Structure 1
Amino acid sequence: MNIKFSLFLVVLSSLLFAGCSSDEGGDTTSPFTVSTSTEGLTLDSEKGSKMAISFHAKESWRASVDADWATVSPMTGSAGDNTIQLIAKSFNNTGSVRQGTLTLVSASGRETICFSQQKTDVVNLEQSEYKVGVEGGDLSVKFSSNIRGYKLLVVSQGNAPTWIKGKKDANVKGGTDVGAGEGLEESEYQFTISANDTHESRSCTFYIRIVNPDNHDEIYITSGMFTIVQDGLPVETSTDYSRNNTVKLLQQHSVGAGVPVVIMGDGFVDTEHNSGRYDEVMRQAMEQFFTEEPATSLRDYFDVWQVNMVSKNNAFGTGYKTALDIVMQGGGSSDVRGNFDKIVAATKNVDDMKTLSRLREALVIVVVNSPQRAGTTNFGISFEGVMSNFAIAYVPLINNDPTGEDFRSVLCHESLGHGLAKLLDEYAYEANNTSVPTSDVNKYRNLQTAYGWAANVSFSATNTPWNHILADRRYQKADAYGEKLGVYEGACGYMHGAWRPTDDSMMFHNQHGFNAPSREAIYKRIMATAYGAAWLYDFNTFAEFDQAHLPQPAATHAKAHAKTRAAGAFQIVGEQPTMLGKPIIGRP
């Protein structure tokens, strides 16, 4: 964007330098002969930019500058030929060309040389952190910029937060002339912060992105980061543990032998049990589990139990204690871990789970009483030397909303995808622009060969686990989400060396439902558990069932971050959300 101003800068510089000359008033006996052209001597806008100045001195000398944003090196020297470096000590964030004077001094006279530092487009934040009380309220984020006529977007790292809304748009300032003006103009964004009804502090980091108003993908510059931090409610401590380890049957199967699902929570104190909040969260978790096909249409095959776990505290981390010792790594990681032995013991509170054969088939969903967006699943667990279908899916109560899309989609990804069907992740990080490590390939191929797991990822572009589906004419058109079954490179977190069945899916961005190979894996698991070793898989039977129960977009499955714009308010744009961490294979 600066190219259009280059002519203006040259003219401006020439005017500035016209008044800068030696203090000797035209005396030609100056002790310095400068060989470097000093007309329009301009440093780049970046910190550390340099320019060499060569001169001949008749005697020893010293050099200095009158600008606090610049320095010179060396500052002293002897007679003869010399070269010094004029150096910018800081980035030019003033929005204007700034000037300084270099002075060379010796015993018999002096020489002054004018210089400047080029201006550039800037957005300067007033501060980098804002603290908000638990009650929430309005917040003003002030900044200054020399940008005129461009669009400014507020961008959050990761998902756009649900608890921070735009109230007033800063784009009303700056006029209509497009370009970088001279000097800074003050402006602000105003946010409304919701009250924090959780016991954890929460934060979100933003930056301001300057874009072409007609094409927001054309990004000119971005500001530094600023973070909004909000306190949480005081942490509570339980005194009544009478409900701890009690069990409630939420649903009983009516077809087959029953596919066992056990739901429990961690970080819920006695008051949350006694008020009915725990019961409601567990019920909603069950309902969310059955929102994706084929689980929706095969719901009658499932048994679902609720195990009540009363924690000492309803917060996590140092100084707090919860029933299942859940630890969330945080810091941008979605990793969640719990105490495996305690979770197994809690599962065995269900009478059916006291039988080893039934325990080996159990899917355990642990709802973590935290608003953080995270999720991890642990499967590939053996009991008494026999590999089992037992799995633990850890799902935080994202945004503290058990009815929310974020919670629903992560729960389905972790529990139905990883936990029940033993699927792998279909996403790939652009930062991992390499192939899947050989050790991971060998591990996952063993899961495919030995147990039929990981059916939604291929380590060959031609010999995929879903070739038989690709060959079937019923699967050769785009689905209701516009996804077309094929072979797309990138999976297991890496850009190369692994392939996925569709461009997007529930195992990628947690949207567009499960693709056909994933639905087949879920179907197989349900039927094999419900009917045991006597059941034999038939692809045509599955395909007929599947075609009658294909995933369909629905209002209740709206995108997690569909934008709703209030009159006069601006939108907060979310970056690509952090993908959920890969599953843990084997005992933790």
Structure 2
Amino acid sequence: MIFRRLLSAIFIVVFFFVSCDKEEVFIRVTDVSTNLSSVTIIEGDMQILDAAVVPTNASNKRLIWSSSDESIVTVDNNGMINAIKVGNAVITVRSEDGNKSVIINVAVIESWLSLSQNVIESSIKGGTYNIKVSASNAWSIHSQPLWVSTSLEGGEATGADSVTITVSVSQFTGTSPERSGEIIFKLNNKDRTDTLTINQNNLQFSDGDYVKVQSSVKGNGIDLVFLGDGYTIEDVRTGKFDDNLNEAIYHFFDIEPFRTYRDYFDVYIVYAYSEDSGISDHETTKNTKFSAKYESSNSTRMDIDHDVTFEYAKKAPLSSDLTETQITVITNSSRYAGTNWSYSDGMSISVVPVSNLQYPNDFRGLVQHEAAGHGFGRLADEYVENYSTIPESVKDELRKWQGWGFFKNVDLTNDLNTILWKHLIEDPAYSYVGAYEGGYTYASGVWRPETTSLMTYNVKYIN
């Protein structure tokens, strides 16, 4: 009897405790949130994505992750994505409770490793060269020649920026004409590479080196820069480069008034080595430093890469800026042509081939016409190509350039009292100066000062 009563008492106590416990409340998921709507990731990389249920105290916080295209990007149960290949996919994050979801757009992009230049041309003396490296991931130098050293052996990802490293090339002591080597840059844990080729020759000057051919002894120095396009290392080694550019300099000053005022000029040659010898035309493309080319098979117009030309001209220690510097590019070609590119601010590039024609269309005639006449002298052409009256639109163009200080050797009037060179007409020493119709490539409606000159037929005379 006593045992029965004790058992009943225990049951009552247990029942009491059970009946007094609170009922557990199940909190439902109402949404899924993430701080990302899109992600850009580099192929081969991994990244954790963050997402959470709303409210944060929901009873079932489990999320289910999935990818719309697992050939592009995969995702595990913790939100870790793995970029498999380049492309786009959608990551969906879904709550187990309530089936709420959010999407994250993923773009997988290529990894990259880029150098600011891929070739260094060095002379026998060697030297130091700065190279910029841009990389999507951490990188390192995989291999390099023993005669080359670098200021960095590797670095972190640069993103849109770059890091500068210094490449040092030792002096060349061998007996061969040249030596070449490669620095291989590689992204860590990836197959992406880029190569810097170093060509070192037994020449005195490296690509980009300059020589001051003449120093001014009067005034503050007027800068002339001579470059060569389509000249290989072999062309330099055989002396063709130096011969052509020094001949061009001789021709530039072998005409008045440059002969008289030569002492006012500082003259530079800047060395530039091309992969191919010669320049491009309508049939053949040459890999040259300044990309000089003939515009067509029957035209004397020539084009050139202005930006690279200006870059190399500035390698000389100019006393002023490019607006007061005459740049002449001698092209390794004997075909007759030539073009001067003038800018309204005064910058000028004359492109001159080494013409093998007879006087007056020889090399001398081209240097003097394009570089001395058009480039430095800012003179207009005085010959006639169009046997018609100069149109109003061309008149407007001429007036515009004359407003910038160019083409003062032609005028749109033959009134000797108002013509641009009236001060010469009034001087008895210039009795041969007048107003002769034809110039600026038109037969009528425009006048020049004399019957013939350098700007008419390339003759050795500036009016």
CA displacement at 1:454 relative to structure 2: 1.0
Cα distance between partner residues in 1 of 2:213 and 2:458: 26
Contact 2:251 2:368 in 1 (8 A): yes
Kindly indicate whether residue 354 of structure 2 is the aligned counterpart of residue 397 of structure 1: yes
Kindly indicate whether residue 390 of structure 2 is the aligned counterpart of residue 436 of structure 1: yes
Contact 1:261 1:302 in 2 (8 A): yes
**Cα distance, 1:333–1:239 mapped onto 2, change above 3 Å:** farther
Kindly indicate whether residue 286 of structure 2 is the aligned counterpart of residue 320 of structure 1: yes
**Cα distance, 1:466–1:337 mapped onto 2, change above 3 Å:** same
Name the amino acid aligned to 2:404.
Y
Name the amino acid aligned to 1:343.
T
Match of 1:24 in 2: none
Match of 1:467 in 2: 422
CA displacement at 1:319 relative to structure 2: 4.0
Deviations 1:178-232 (A, max 9, x none): xxxxxxxxxxxxxxxxxxxxxxxxxxxxxxxxxxxxxxxxxxxxxxxxxxxxxxx
Cα distance between partner residues in 2 of 1:440 and 1:258: 36
Contact 2:360 2:458 in 1 (8 A): no
Kindly indicate whether residue 461 of structure 2 is the aligned counterpart of residue 513 of structure 1: yes
Cα distance between partner residues in 2 of 1:332 and 1:502: 29
CA displacement at 1:243 relative to structure 2: 2.3
Kindly indicate whether residue 441 of structure 2 is the aligned counterpart of residue 485 of structure 1: no
Kindly indicate whether residue 229 of structure 2 is the aligned counterpart of residue 274 of structure 1: no
Match of 1:454 in 2: 407
2:374 to 402, 414, 418: 418
Cα distance between partner residues in 2 of 1:276 and 1:282: 10
CA displacement at 1:272 relative to structure 2: 1.1
2:267 to 289, 304, 308: 304
1:245 to 208, 213, 217: 208
CA displacement at 1:351 relative to structure 2: 2.2
Match of 2:195 in 1: none
CA displacement at 1:380 relative to structure 2: 2.2
**Cα distance, 1:275–1:496 mapped onto 2, change above 3 Å:** same
Q: Equivalent residues in 2 for 1:11-410 (5 A)? A: 243-317=206-280, 318-352=284-318, 357-381=320-344, 387=345, 389-399=346-356, 406-410=362-366
CA displacement at 1:390 relative to structure 2: 1.8
Cα distance between partner residues in 1 of 2:357 and 2:315: 27
Cα distance between partner residues in 2 of 1:486 and 1:319: 46
TM-score by length of 1: 0.42
Name the amino acid aligned to 1:456.
N
Cα distance between partner residues in 2 of 1:406 and 1:330: 20
CA displacement at 1:452 relative to structure 2: 3.0
CA displacement at 1:255 relative to structure 2: 0.2
Cα distance between partner residues in 1 of 2:434 and 2:405: 20
Aligned pair count reads 258
Considering only CA atoms, is the larger Rg found in Structure 1 or Structure 2?
A: 2
Name the amino acid aligned to 1:443.
E
Name the amino acid aligned to 1:265.
G
Cα distance between partner residues in 2 of 1:414 and 1:320: 23
Cα distance between partner residues in 2 of 1:510 and 1:425: 10
Identical-pair percentage = 30
Match of 2:62 in 1: none
Name the amino acid aligned to 1:464.
I
Name the amino acid aligned to 2:421.
W
Cα distance between partner residues in 2 of 1:497 and 1:420: 26
3-state SS, counterpart of residue 254 of structure 2: coil
3-state SS, counterpart of residue 374 of structure 1: coil
Deviations 1:388-440 (A, max 9, x none): x2211110011299x997100111011111101111000112xx221112222
Contact 2:360 2:457 in 1 (8 A): no
Q: Equivalent residues in 2 for 1:567-586 (5 A)? A: none
Please identify runs of 4+ aligned residues in structure 1 that moved more than 6 A: none
Contact 1:240 1:270 in 2 (8 A): no
Cα distance between partner residues in 2 of 1:371 and 1:510: 17
Cα distance between partner residues in 1 of 2:361 and 2:445: 32
CA displacement at 1:441 relative to structure 2: 1.2
Contact 2:215 2:265 in 1 (8 A): yes
**Cα distance, 1:512–1:245 mapped onto 2, change above 3 Å:** closer
CA displacement at 1:447 relative to structure 2: 2.3
Cα distance between partner residues in 2 of 1:459 and 1:240: 56
Name the amino acid aligned to 1:459.
L
Cα distance between partner residues in 2 of 1:262 and 1:426: 26
Cα distance between partner residues in 2 of 1:365 and 1:333: 20
Cα distance between partner residues in 2 of 1:512 and 1:343: 28
CA displacement at 1:464 relative to structure 2: 1.5
CA displacement at 1:497 relative to structure 2: 1.3
**Cα distance, 1:254–1:335 mapped onto 2, change above 3 Å:** same
Considering Cα pairs closer than 8 Å and 6+ residues apart, tell me whether 1 or 2 has the greater RCO: 1
Contact 1:435 1:496 in 2 (8 A): yes
CA displacement at 1:320 relative to structure 2: 2.1
Cα distance between partner residues in 2 of 1:284 and 1:491: 30
Name the amino acid aligned to 2:288.
T
Question: Structure 1: 5+ residue runs without aligned partners?
Answer: 1-237, 382-386, 477-483, 516-588
3-state SS, counterpart of residue 306 of structure 1: strand
**Cα distance, 1:404–1:495 mapped onto 2, change above 3 Å:** closer
Match of 1:60 in 2: none
Deviations 1:10-42 (A, max 9, x none): xxxxxxxxxxxxxxxxxxxxxxxxxxxxxxxxx
Deviations 1:321-379 (A, max 9, x none): 000011112422100110000000011111226xxx42220000000100010010011
Contact 1:370 1:400 in 2 (8 A): no
